[in-house]
Amino acid sequence: SQTIHQWPATLVQPVGSPLSLECTVEGTSNPNLYWYRQAAGRGLQLLFYSVGIGQISSEVPQNLSASRPQDRQFILSSKKLLLSDSGFYLCAWSGRGWGTEMPQHFGDGTRLSIL
């Protein structure tokens, strides 16, 4: 069966510090991969979307970037964190539907607090 892992579960970082959050998927190949941010009490905002190694689409302008160095690895990064980067970051994967929408499956997220 497929599983998705995110780490760390929680992270406290000072303003201006760099960031690296990692997500890996097991049990599938060629997944679509996603990064979302969830502000407290709010819905999910899609940040990045990837259909393959090195292929990243950014959905909103921001202080963050994403990379996909391997088929089942997705990394969220920042060179200098802002206070507004605080939130709950979720990684998700889906299969390839080839014209049909496929369910997305989420990891358990990283709670990021910027001080």
| Closest-CA residue to 28 (of 95, 103, 108) | 95
Query: How is residue 83 annotated by DSSP?
Result: G
Q: Which of 39/82 has CB closer to another protein?
A: 39
Using only C-alpha atoms, the chain has a radius of gyration, in whole angstroms, of 14
Stretch that binds another protein, among 11-19, 69-77, 78-86, 105-113 (CB under 8 A): 105-113
**Residue 34 near residue 102, CB atoms below 8 Å:** no
Does the footprint of another protein cover residue 90 (CB under 8 A)?
A: yes
- Facing residues of 91 across strands? 35
Say whether residue 87 binds another protein (CB under 8 A).
no
Residues 39-68 that bind another protein (CB under 8 A): 41-44, 46, 49, 57, 59
Residue 54 and residue 33 in contact, taking contact as beta carbons nearer than 8 Å: no
Residues forming the site for another protein (CB under 8 A): 6, 32, 34, 41-44, 46, 49, 57, 59, 90, 92, 94, 96-97, 99-109, 111
